[in-house]
Amino acid sequence: VEERFAELKRRLAEIDDLHMAARLAAWDQQVTMPPGGAAARAEQLATLNRIAHEKFVDEAVGRLLEELGPWEASLARDSDEASLIRVSRQDWQKATRVPAELAAEQARVHSESMQAWAVARANADYAAFRPWLDRVLEVKHRYIACFESAADPYDIVLDDFERDMPTADVRRLFGRLKPVLTELAAAATDEVQSWEAGPWPRDPQYAISLEVIRAFGADERSFRLDPTVHPFCTNFSTNDVRLTTRYGEKSFHGTSLFSTIHEAGHGLYEHGVSPTLERTPLRSGCSSALHESQSRLWENVIGRSLPFWRWLGPRMESHFPGVLAGVGAERMHRAANRVRRSHIRVDADEITYGLHVILRFELEQQLLFGGLSTAHLPDAWNTAFEETLGLAVPDDAHGCLQDVHWSLGLFGYFPTYQIGNVLSVQIWDRLLAGVPDADERIEGGDFAAIHAWLRDNLYVLGRKFTPSETIERVVGGPIDPEPYIGYLRGKVAALG
Amino acid sequence: VEERFAELKRRLAEIDDLHMAARLAAWDQQVTMPPGGAAARAEQLATLNRIAHEKFVDEAVGRLLEELGPWEASLARDSDEASLIRVSRQDWQKATRVPAELAAEQARVHSESMQAWAVARANADYAAFRPWLDRVLEVKHRYIACFESAADPYDIVLDDFERDMPTADVRRLFGRLKPVLTELAAAATDEVQSWEAGPWPRDPQYAISLEVIRAFGADERSFRLDPTVHPFCTNFSTNDVRLTTRYGEKSFHGTSLFSTIHEAGHGLYEHGVSPTLERTPLRSGCSSALHESQSRLWENVIGRSLPFWRWLGPRMESHFPGVLAGVGAERMHRAANRVRRSHIRVDADEITYGLHVILRFELEQQLLFGGLSTAHLPDAWNTAFEETLGLAVPDDAHGCLQDVHWSLGLFGYFPTYQIGNVLSVQIWDRLLAGVPDADERIEGGDFAAIHAWLRDNLYVLGRKFTPSETIERVVGGPIDPEPYIGYLRGKVAALG
């Protein structure tokens, strides 16, 4: 048995190495690669992913997982060993359902469709993108057909990002949130303080962003921060985390600060996974929503709080002395939290953000299963957007073309953003029980106890348990929107 | 037949993709990786190299190569197709001679030995490194034993860097060079001009280095330049070339200029290989010596020439106005070419460089096959060094510990540096027949015709032919030391 388990681990470690090499190739492509390298890089990525996939769906892996069943049953369920066998078996069963040709076809369609989307968005030309969206939907339906039918067909796409989460739960959650968010969005304002226009030079943006994430615990031994067009976080081991950000020079909200904190939240999660899970498929955050809960916890719950701005304000002023002289922490905090109606999800404040997400969740279900033709997507989007956010959509680049996700077939992803927001407040409330003086610590710039609590209670678990098991362990119960609603109401009242 | 050839190309392309992913992982390790990533990176590199090796030595590859023999014979020898089959067969026969366990053992010993060497060199502590050198020699002998005995046992290690080159040829070449270099080294001087001490700030070093290599043809579409500790060049396709350099701030010779030009020479070679050879094992420079001929041609034959300094001098002055005001191109050219006796090979001038190399060539033969015990290596080195260069060796860090090569088992590599120097002048003389106004072009900063001649006559060939075939094609005959000797004599006379 031990030999078989060692053999399983050896195979999974090799597959993990290939995945990490592919992640590095993708990071390099977006951060450092000269443009001439694109064609060869696409081949290299395809080869790495194909070999990793082939090695995983190998029947020998399935046989080992089966043979290890009795041993697994004899182990504690939460042991690393039992978890590795259990989760790998689920992954294997899912991966072997999808024929290699379909997986390759999906990769090809998504890659080409994404390029078509980028051009279409730049030209606000939905008609040019529509045939690609049709192809993406067609291969997605073939993908869905690989699985046993679920209570709700959307369960199958959601499962790719939130294992075992029923669509019905998301619908219930969003049903509770939508009227509250709509009500709170009435606090939206067009107010802008004059200092927000900057100028915000790049070097001090880099310096203050780095200072903040270093204070959070993103140390130089394991983290780097590079510029990119679309910020993201990736990692190639728990001790090699790559954060990326962008440096807008024209507005306070466009500086690298919030985007860097957001990505650092993702990075701290990956960095905190137990070293015993390195080179296994458990060596990463549990799910998209739990990942987002951490990026949003650091970005919003901490990074837009008044104690945080009392700490950061004077530091900001020393980095941007011309712009911020005399502004003070309270006004910076106010600008960081202002509710405003806008067309673009990634620019949205905490209140309206959820409305942007719920709209996408509803439309993608209609596109996939509700008979909404791609021909009518812009109309459907624009109507829903005006109903929800109260703004007319000037063109599709500010409407249904704004996000890359659908071009990549990432249906089921959007709701996890908002579930993450909800979870971030549940987790924070639980953290306050363990670190009751968290606010004072933040105001003093001491994030060690906060980081340690999150690491010891969440990050360390990696992908050992399902999202719902993990949530249960961290917050002592299921997802609950009420703490989040209370948090948002409190914010709006305090800023009112 | 065409299906079989397509299958061979498919397999070789996949292997090339894996090698390129490994190269990227190695580049990243030296240029961008945070230190915490080291342990996981070693595993990732081992996995990529192991899978690439396994896929290459696969019997199916050998079978395809055998089955394609008759078709190969029907093709023109210099066609891409025949060359791919021929060279791949040679590579396959060589690779399959070495058992996988020995290859793995070599990789492990070299990796550990290199780390031991780095510590030993830092402490000038040869005794700490000696047991590792013994292990490296032991596995090297096991490697040599995998091959049929050769006329000279050194032929087998030399073949890893210069396919088909007999050691006897190198000995004859170095026998001709050694007395000439010794004679010319009498021109050595301790003269230093006061401006050489700088200061040489980093930003203008980067700017002028980039300006020079862009003028050579290392365009931003396909090349990047990053800082590192030990400069090197690598690439992940013909259009994704990574140059690295270092920025010494205390002396003219320590600036990034010459090291950047050197690496750019390697990079232009890789960049110029025919695109039809992309994703095949022919997609790289032909041999170590031919590669070095290009780094040294751009660095020395062009980069230390008077026409070059007439072009570069005013540009240098505008980047370093304080230091270089009134110095003038002639004095910079003189400083760039000064003959001086020094302990460290990589700091040596063009005259003494060859003596450093010849000493290593002689000692490594004695270590491997001549009964020189590692216990006596420092004594043997120091005695030979004082005889050859006329300098006492103060400690082993300035003696036999200075280079990384032996720790990595790279016996057979050193001579290729000096063969490259010899070839660089032969190639330049031939180039002058095609580009007779090369000197005027250099003085005008126009390197396009020079780059094009090198690309069309050498770079484009990649690894299609053996080194001797390639040399024959480019210069119309075998290696010949006389043009190089004439070039060095001319330099010493002109500067005298």
The three state secondary structure string of A196-253 is HHCCCCHHHHHHHHHHHHHHHCCCCCCEEEEECCCCCEEEEECCEEEEEECCCCCCHH
Residue B496 has pLDDT above 80, yes or no: no
The model's confidence at residue B100, banded by pLDDT at 50, 70 and 90, is: confident
Helix%, strand%, coil% for chain B, nearest 5: 70, 5, 25
Residues from chain A contacting residue B48 (CB–CB below 8 Å): 17-18, 21
Are the CB atoms for A205 and A255 separated by under 8 Å? yes
Paired tokens of B469 = 């075939």
Is residue A223 within 8 A of residue A243, CB to CB? The reply is yes
Q: Determine whether the interchain pair A43/B279 forms a contact, defined as Cβ–Cβ distance below 8 Å.
A: yes
Q: Between A and B, how many CB-CB pairs are < 8 A? A: 121
The reply to whether A59 belongs to the active site is: no
Q: Per the CB < 8 Å rule, is A34 touching B223?
A: yes
Q: What is the distance in angstroms between the Cα of B47 and the nearest Cα belonging to chain A?
A: 6
User: Which pLDDT does position A203 carry in this prediction?
Assistant: 96
Q: How many angstroms separate the CA atoms of A90 and B331, rounded? A: 72
The answer to whether B190 faces chain A, any CB pair under 8 Å, is no
Is B75 near chain A, with CB under 8 Å?
Answer: no
| A223 and chain B in contact, CB less than 8 A | yes
Q: Does A203 touch chain B (CB under 8 A)?
A: no
Q: Is the ipTM reported for this complex over the cut 0.85?
A: yes
Closest of B398, B359, B394 to residue B380, by C-alpha = B359
d(CA B374, CA B367): 7
Q: Is the pLDDT of residue B495 over 90?
A: no
Distance from CA of A264 to the nearest CA of B (A): 15
Whether A237 sits inside 8 A of B40 (CB atoms) is yes
pLDDT of residue B107 exceeding 90, the answer is no
The CA-atom distances, in angstroms, between B33 and each of A28, A230, A284, B233 are 11, 21, 19, 17
Contact B109, B140 (CB under 8 A): no
Instruction: Say if A227 is an interface residue toward chain B (CB within 8 Å).
Output: no
Rounded to an integer, what distance in angstroms lies between the CA atom of residue B251 and that of residue A393? 61
| Number of residues that this document lists for chain B | 496
Residues 6+ apart with CB under 8 A from B222: A34, A36, A37, B238, B239, B240, B241, B271
d(C-alpha B459, C-alpha B473), whole Å = 12
Q: Residue B241, by phi and psi: left (phi above 0), alpha (psi -120 to 50) or beta?
A: beta
C-alpha dist (Å) from residue B471 to A235, B42, B231, B241, B474: 45, 37, 27, 24, 5
3 state DSSP class of B224? strand
From A37's Cα to the closest Cα of chain B, the distance in A is 5
Q: What's this model's pTM, rounded to 2 decimal places?
A: 0.94
**Cα angle for residues A489, A492, A496 (degrees, 5° grid):** 140
Q: Report the DSSP pairing between strands A240-245 and B240-245.
A: unpaired
pLDDT of A111 reads 84
Structure tokens at A10: 């050896």
pLDDT of B115 > 90? The answer is: no
A72, A162, A196, A263: the catalytic one is: A263
Q: At what angle do helices B38-57 and B2-31 cross, to 10 degrees?
A: 160
Residues 238-257, chain B, touching A (beta carbon < 8 A): 238-241
**Torsion of Cα atoms, A471 then A417 then A455 then A478, to 10°:** -10
Taking the C-alpha atoms of residue A119 and residue A383, their distance in angstroms, rounded to an integer, is 24
Over residues B144-162, the mean pLDDT reads: 95
Whether A240 sits inside 8 A of B22 (CB atoms) is no
Q: Does B203 touch chain A (CB under 8 A)?
A: no
Hey, which residues does B235 pair with through a beta bridge? B241
H/E segment holding residue B227: strand B223-227
pLDDT tens track, chain A, 496 positions:
899 999 999 999 999 999 999 999 999 998 999 999 999 999 999 999 999 999 999 999 999 999 999 999 999 999 999 999 999 999 999 999 999 889 889 988 988 898 899 999 999 999 999 999 999 999 999 999 999 999 999 999 999 999 999 999 999 999 999 999 999 999 999 889 999 999 999 999 999 999 999 999 999 999 999 999 889 999 999 999 999 999 999 999 999 999 999 999 999 999 999 999 999 999 999 999 999 999 999 999 999 999 999 999 999 999 999 999 999 999 999 999 999 999 999 889 999 999 999 999 999 999 999 999 999 999 999 999 999 999 999 999 999 999 999 999 999 999 999 999 999 999 999 999 999 999 999 999 999 999 999 999 999 999 999 999 999 999 999 999 999 999 999 999 998 7
B171 C-beta neighbours (distance < 10 Å), count? 17
The SS3 assignment for A336 reads helix
**B199 upstream amide cis, omega within 30 of 0:** yes
Closest Cα in chain A to B19 = A44
Nearest neighbour of B221 by CB, restricted to A20, A34, A41: A34
Q: Do residue A37 and residue B237 have CB atoms under 8 angstroms apart? A: yes
DSSP reduced 3-state for B438: helix
pLDDT at B141 over 80: yes
In the sheet with A240-245, reading across from the earlier edge strand, the strands are A223-227, A240-245, A233-237
Residue among B72, B162, B196, B263 flagged as catalytic: B263
Distance CA A64, CA A446 (A): 47
Average pLDDT value over all residues in chain B: 96
Q: Are strands A233-237 and B223-227 parallel, antiparallel or unpaired?
A: unpaired
For residue A24, list chain B residues with Cβ-Cβ distance below 8 A. 21, 24-25, 28, 44
> What is the residue type of A327?
V
Interface test with B, best of A58, A213, A235, A237 (most B CBs within 10 A): A237
Stated length of chain A: 496
Question: Distance (Å, rounded) from C-alpha A160 to C-alpha A165?
Answer: 10
CB contact under 8 A, A43 and B241: no
Q: What pairs with residue A245 in β-bridges? A: A227
Distance from CA of B455 to the nearest CA of A (A): 18
Residue contact A36–B279, C-beta within 8 A: no
**Residue among A267, A292, A276 nearest A461 (CA):** A276
The predicted model gives B435-451 an average pLDDT of: 98
Q: Cα separation of B123 and B457, whole Å?
A: 46
